[in-house]
Amino acid sequence: MATLFDPILAGDLSLPNRIAMAPLTRNRSPGAVPTPLVAEYYTQRATAGLLITEATAISHQGQGYADVPGLYAPGQIAGWRRVTDAVHAAGGRIVTQLWHVGRISHETLQPGGGKPVAPSAIRARSKTFLINADGSGSFAETSEPRALELSEIPGILDDYRRAARAAVEEAGFDGVEIHAANGYLIDQFLRSGSNRRTDAYGGPIENRARFLFEAVDAVIEGAGAGRVGIRLSPVTPANDAFDPEPQPLFEHVARGLGLRGLAYIHTIEGATGGARDYRQGERDFDYAAYKAAYRDAGGKGAWMVNNGYDAGLARQAVESGAADLVAFGKLYIANPDLVTRLRDGTALNAPDKTTFYGGGARGYTDYPFAA
């Protein structure tokens, strides 16, 4: 019987334990360049079986929040190289999460002040994070997007390919995770609530999933399948994500991913940061059937779960075989030595929510380690 603290092989990633640090946007990379403080933050948490970085924009167009990092300019790649070198020196494994936000952006963050792009010109009922003139941060309504032209899609796929290659060949990451969750661009294509296209990328499930599979294939070309994971959120309402029939949609996605030899599948169960039993449509989502669709299609990647896990629930998931890896989010913000604390039953620090987004070391690198 596997335990939370046993090593595991996820594709080409050899991990010392089954505990992952979930991607967490912290808005501490001015100019989209990771700083030495970012390197300190990740290095503090290097005992995780796998560190998954905060979502990282594959292009200027793909950026939707102020002071989040990118992976499309030399300075950004160099900044990430400092991070990965420090994490590796501490014995850690780290992948970066590749991100295009689609419509979850603001005109002030876009090239030339243009409109954000999306599958369809439908404004999201959501907010993004901006830096004010006085240096303070605040949330603002997302801008109205424009629908992507068919001719623009190959260019975005090229951005995914280039970012994946830069991540592993230049920035020194052990692999990449594709962000296909939480109402961002890939998820927007998947869901009928945000995709009203009538071309080859809209309408039936097979068409709406086309962009996801093309993005996955592009990233595989850049990084190699054994170093690629993907994050999905079948029922989350985050960023105005909605589809009335998530079960057939995500079983179709799972079957397609099962053919591609990925390192792992990372699933957010329920509403991101909220109820684990949240559902969309008229019936509960069957996570076991969704996982079975992946395995039945030949998928051998590690199965990672996320959302509201504590020590007991995580142990149960791994020991029962329901999951191979468990990703922790907010607990990792406040507990850089989370692996040790979970193993020893040590009390956990409580996160300071007022420091989640933006700022400096306070609430970022100053949480105490257990004695």
Res. 135: pLDDT tops 90: no
pLDDT in tens, 274-290: 999 999 999 999 999 99
Res. 132: pLDDT tops 90: no
pLDDT on residue 227:
98
Task: Take residue 101 and report the two structure tokens written for it.
Answer: 């936000």
pTM: 0.98
Closest C-alpha among 191, 175, 200 to residue 236: 191
Res. 66: pLDDT tops 90: yes
Cα 289 to Cα 141: distance, rounded to the nearest angstrom: 37
Cα 225 to Cα 299: distance, rounded to the nearest angstrom: 12
Establish whether 357 is a catalytic residue. Answer: no
One of 184, 264, 294, 309 is an active-site residue; which one?
Answer: 184
Residue 173: CA atoms inside 13 Å, Cβ hemisphere, count?
Answer: 32
Instruction: Compute the average pLDDT of residues 170-174.
Output: 98
Three-state secondary structure of 263-315: CEEEEECCCCCCCCCCCCCCCCCCHHHHHHHHHHCCCCCEEEEECCCCHHHHH
pLDDT on residue 137:
81
pLDDT in tens, 182-203: 999 999 999 999 999 999 999 9
- The residues, ordered by sequence, that sit 6+ positions from 4 with a Cβ below 8 Å of its Cβ are 17, 18, 19, 314, 315, 318, 319, 326, 342
Confidence of residue 261 (pLDDT cuts 50, 70, 90): very high
Distances (CA, A) of 1 to 111, 222, 223, 321: 52, 35, 32, 8
pLDDT on residue 50:
99
Block residue for tokens 């801008």: 143
Res. 163: pLDDT tops 90: yes
pLDDT on residue 179:
98
Res. 207: pLDDT tops 90: yes
pLDDT on residue 203:
98
Q: Where are the domains of the chain?
A: 8-355
Res. 91: pLDDT tops 90: yes
Res. 134: pLDDT tops 90: no
Confidence of residue 133 (pLDDT cuts 50, 70, 90): confident
pLDDT in tens, 99-128: 999 999 999 999 999 999 999 999 999 999
Answer positive or negative: Cα dihedral of 354, 269, 221, 190. Answer: negative
For a pLDDT cut of 90, what percent of the chain falls above it? 97
Fold of 8-355: TIM Barrel (3.20.20)
Res. 253: pLDDT tops 90: yes
Block residue for tokens 């961002």: 184
Question: pLDDT averaged over the chain?
Answer: 97
Res. 159: pLDDT tops 90: yes
Cα 265 to Cα 224: distance, rounded to the nearest angstrom: 15
